[in-house]
Amino acid sequence: VEVWQYSNKNDKLNKFSNGLCEDVANIFNARNRGVKQSQKLSVLKNTNMPAALIEVDFISNVNAERDLNVSSNIKAVALVIRDNLIDLFGLEAVASDVLYKVCIGAFKDKNNAINQVKLAKDKGFIDTYIIQNS
């Protein structure tokens, strides 16, 4: 297990990446190869925000490939990523894995959508956002 970052100048991202490495390595009892820096990986250098790329497995590792074909292992990795993201952003964990989504409109004019989001946020729905359909 290893996590790649574009830069190591962000302490919060470093903590997140180290936590991912440690937690995923523990799931599979695998070697923690740590956090690595790269300014060449497109997925990292072409973002406008801090970014990390986790390598959970190497294609040459037959045992790891077998382990990643088990749905409970995939869910465990997803939960570790979720938990580390919750820590990174200082969010509150949801007690249940079930979430209910509510759509309150569809608008051709983006300004109408922006106004609807503002109204919802003004009423206390702080997690309101716009989804753009193509």
Query: How confident is the model over 83-133, as pLDDT tens digits?
Result: 999 999 999 887 777 878 888 889 999 999 999 999 999 999 888 889 888
More confident residue, 18 or 102: 18
Q: Where are the domains of the chain?
A: 2-89, 101-134
The DSSP line for 84-111 is HHHHHHTPPPPSSS----------SSHH
Query: How confident is the model over 23-58, as pLDDT tens digits?
Result: 999 998 889 999 999 989 998 988 888 889 999 988
Superfamily assignment of 2-89 in CATH?
Zn-dependent exopeptidases (3.40.630.40)
Separation CA 84–CA 82 (nearest Å): 6
Query: How confident is the model over 52-89, as pLDDT tens digits?
Result: 999 998 878 888 888 888 999 999 999 999 999 999 99
Please name the amino acid found at residue 92.
Answer: E
* Whole-model pTM over 0.75: no
